[in-house]
Structure formats: C-alpha cells, structure tokens
Amino acid sequence: LAVPIPGGDNEPAFQGPTTFHLIQISSFANSTWAQNQGSGWLGDLQIHGWDSESGTAIFLKPWSKGNLSDEEVTELVEIFRVYLIGFLRVVQDHVSEFQLTCECRPL
C-alpha cells in the first residue's frame, strides 16, 4: 500500500520509514454476541477504521486509499468483511474446544 506522505500545514510530516499495520480486536461477550473492531495505522497515525455494523472500512484521510483504484478498494474491503465474519463464526463454533469460557470477576 503506497500512501502519499502528507507534508502540509495540517498534517505532520513523517520522518524516515513508516510502518503500516492493521489492528483487529474481536470481542466475545457471551455465546451469541461478538463484534470486530479494526483499524489501520501508518506509524502512530490512524488512517483506517472499521464499521462493524455495516461491515465496511472507514477512510479517515483523503489519501487513506493510497494509490488503489475504487475497484481494488472494494475488493479488499470485501475480503476483510468475509474474513472478519468468518473469524467470529469459527471462534464461536469452537469456543468449547478452545476452553475460552471463563467466569470473569473484577479483582
């Protein structure tokens, strides 16, 4: 993913090589309720969010799509959507095998 480096007055200029990483947080409240949160980060700057209700990406900067075409972005978002739904389903289906159930109490 190539992203133009913003250097304008409103954006801090990046120094040196910047990493891009994605964070996935999947929450499982009980046997039926689960939700994904997702975000994309260029260094310390968040440039992508994830709307778990609609299952679509949120582009937080005008340049968050990098040089990908709309078609490529749509395809990528669809891959993430299918993956995230599948991830929740697989974990929920195998919770007993993973022995993930716990009775959590504040200390």
Ligand X SMILES: *[C@@H]1O[C@H](CO)[C@@H](O)[C@H](O)[C@H]1NC(C)=O
* Residue of 9, 10, 17, 29 that binds ligand X (CB under 6 A): 29
Cβ nearer to ligand X, comparing 2 with 107? 2
Residue 47 CA to residue 40 CA, distance in Å, equals 6
Q: In this structure, what token pair is assigned to residue 54?
A: 């609609």
Residue 96 as a binder of ligand X (CB under 6 A): the answer is: no
Question: Which helix or strand (DSSP H or E) is residue 50 part of?
Answer: strand 45-51
Q: Restricting to residues 30-89, name those near ligand X by CB under 6 A.
A: 30, 32-33, 67-69
Q: In this structure, what token pair is assigned to residue 106?
A: 């504040």
Residue 2 as a binder of ligand X (CB under 6 A): the answer is: yes
